[in-house]
Amino acid sequence: MNPFHTLVNNQRTFFKSEQTLPYAFRKEQLKKLRDMLKTYEKDIYQALNDDLNKSKNETLTTELGFLYSEIDVTIKHLKEWMKAEKVDTPITHKGSKSFVLAEPYGVTITIAPWNYPLQLAIAPVIGALAAGNTVIIKPSEFTMATSSLLAHMIGSTFDANYVAVVEGAEETSQQLLELKFDYIFFTGSTNVGKIIMKQASEHLTPVTLELGGKSPAIVDKDANIDLAAKRIVWGKFTNAGQTCVAPDFLFVHEKVKQKVIKAMKKHIKSFYGKDPVQNKNYGRIVNTDHFDRLKYLLAESNIVYGGGMNRELCSIEPTIIDDATFEDPIMEEEIFGPLLPVLTFQNLEEAIAVLKGKEKPLSLYFFGENAESQQKVLGRLSFGGGCINDTLYHLANPNLPFGGVGTSGMGSYHGKDSFDTFSHKKSILKQTTKFDIPLRYPGGKIAHNIT
Ligand code: NAD
């Protein structure tokens, strides 16, 4: 028998008991989740430092702070989100009213990756609980300290029949997915996303897939070069480049390339010092497999900054690679590490044409002052989301839905979108019984005339 059969069954029984339906219950659970994070803050800093050498500041801004803000926004608006949403009713339906009810799906699962192992395991849970579901969380096996802390925190805060953590790798994930869930929320690679979707089809379970891709940072010739360089360096090398929305490569107007590279070198030095590998505030590569993969991508490339590495520490310096081409191995797949290839274009039309030929990325960043050029990029290229003159920041606005398109994913979440994602929208027409218009019935006037 499947080892998780009982757990899923118990969650289904709990869901059917209707305890998750009232507003008061949901609000209480979100508060519990917030208190849990507060209680375990110290352990969280330690676990993320053990797993990825994340500094306290980085953990606060990119993991914990993000979750606090999502929970607060959700608690603040939950009552309003749960209300029936009235919609117009056509005159042909005289006497009736129409509205949409958000109802929970039921038993849900959140499968998380390793790069933001706390944030990406908990953020979907906020939406799932707000919408009245039960949840099983499957954290990544690559970030063991965070995974076991998650199991401990959740286990000591929630009834497992309501929220549970199942630790394990691919096989565990597969065993879980053999069972019927009512919603699957997956964050991870595009390849595994395809497997998840196939498995979901067995039970016709709806999915959100938060995947990756090669997100470009385009710098046009009229950009504010120094600020662009600073924000690209920050977005690329935070968490040692292991960020799904990190700029994967720099696509820069040839006239300003040298200036951008010079400014990026200056900012890397100022952020991470002369020896980033030894810097306690600089992230480390998750494991030696990924370290070796990244090392291979660097072979025979024109390194103009960085390139130093230490396998024992699993650390690679912020590295800039000049004269890269779209045919290089480094441009075949998402880099997911601190290597920034630089490619050039001669005019924006050419850049747009080239990017149109690629898979739709999770993010796109455009740096340039000209409003028409900004419009061109936004209107003609398809991508999950992004920024004009910045990187990553769109992700931290709870009013912006976050998600990919094409191979970078489907569906979205954050803020109200998380609540919506985990809710089925039930459409209701409430009819009057005070009168009955005969037109629709056989023999009714219009029906008669039509024939
Ligand atoms: P991954 O796809 O290898 O693993 C993600 C999760 O799926 C893990 O929990 C893993 O145990 C599980 N898994 C692995 N193989 C599986 C299988 N065959 N069947 C079922 N489950 C399986 O991804 P990763 O290496 O942990 O994360 C890196 C990827 O995630 C990158 O591509 C990155 O862009 C993407 N990502 C996307 C977002 C986003 O929000 N869109 C956020 C972070 C990371």
Give tens-digit pLDDT for 298-317: 998 999 999 999 999 999 99
Q: pTM of the entire structure?
A: 0.96
What is the rounded distance in angstroms from the CA atom of residue 48 to the CA atom of residue 156? 20
Query: What beta strand segments (E) does 329-378 contain?
Result: 339-345, 363-367
Tell me the CA distances in angstroms from 264 to 52, 250, 261, 307, 368, one per residue in order. 24, 11, 5, 15, 16
* Length, in residues, of the chain: 451
Distance 335 CA to ligand 1 centre (A): 14
**pLDDT tens digits, one per residue of 236-265:** 999 999 999 999 999 999 999 999 999 999
Confidence of residue 451 (pLDDT cuts 50, 70, 90): very low
Rounded distance from Cα 189 to ligand 1 centre (Å): 4
Do strands 339-345 and 249-253 pair parallel, antiparallel, or not at all (unpaired)? parallel
**Which residues are the active-site residues?**
210, 244
CB-ligand 1 contact for 49 (6 Å cutoff)? no
Question: Does ligand 1 come within 6 angstroms of the Cβ of 248?
Answer: no
CB 305 within 8 A of CB 268: yes
169 lines ligand 1 (CB under 6 A): yes
Residue linked to tokens 């924000």: 231
**Complex-level ipTM:** 0.97
Would you say the CB of residue 121 lies under 6 angstroms from ligand 1?
A: no
Structural domains for the chain? 4-211+408-428 (3.40.605.10), 216-396 (3.40.309.10)
Query: Best of 51, 52, 62, 111 to mutate for ligand 1, by most ligand atoms within 8 A of CB?
Result: 111
Instruction: State the pLDDT confidence band at 449, using cuts at 50, 70 and 90.
Output: very low
Specify the amino acid at residue 374. Q
Ligand 1: atom nearest CA of 402 is: 40
Average model confidence (pLDDT) across the chain: 96
Q: Using the mean position of ligand 1's atoms as its centre, give its distance from the Cα of residue 186 in Å.
A: 8
Q: How far is the CA of 214 from the centre of ligand 1 (A)?
A: 15
Rounded percentage of the chain residues whose pLDDT exceeds 90: 96
How much of the chain exceeds pLDDT 70, in percent?
Answer: 98
CB 112 near ligand 1, within 6 Å: yes
Asked if 65 contacts 45 with a C-beta cutoff of 8 angstroms, the reply is no
212 in ligand 1 pocket by Cβ < 6 Å?
yes
In contact, 190 and 211? CB cutoff 8 Å? yes
Per-residue burial over 357-377, b = 16 or more CB atoms within 10 Å of its CB, e = otherwise: eeebbbbbbbbbeeeebbebb
Helix (H) or strand (E) holding 175: helix 170-178
What pLDDT score was predicted for residue 446? 55
Longest dimension (CA), the chain: 86
- Buried b / exposed e over 33-68, threshold 16 CB at 10 Å, is bbebbeebeeebbbbbbebbbbbbebbbebbbebbe
Contact between 421 and 185 (Cβ < 8 Å):
yes
CA–centroid distance, 222 to ligand 1, in Å, is 37
Atom of ligand 1 nearest to the CA of 168: 11
Question: Which residue from 418, 405, 429 is spatially nearest to 84, judged by alpha carbons?
Answer: 429
Tens of pLDDT, residues 363-379: 999 999 999 999 999 99
d(CA 237, CA 58): 12
Q: Which atom of ligand 1 is nearest to the CA of 114?
A: 26
Beta strands in 112-178 (DSSP E): 134-138, 163-165
- Per DSSP (E only), the strands in 284-438 are 302-305, 309-310, 315-316, 319-322, 339-345, 363-367, 385-388, 409-410, 423-430
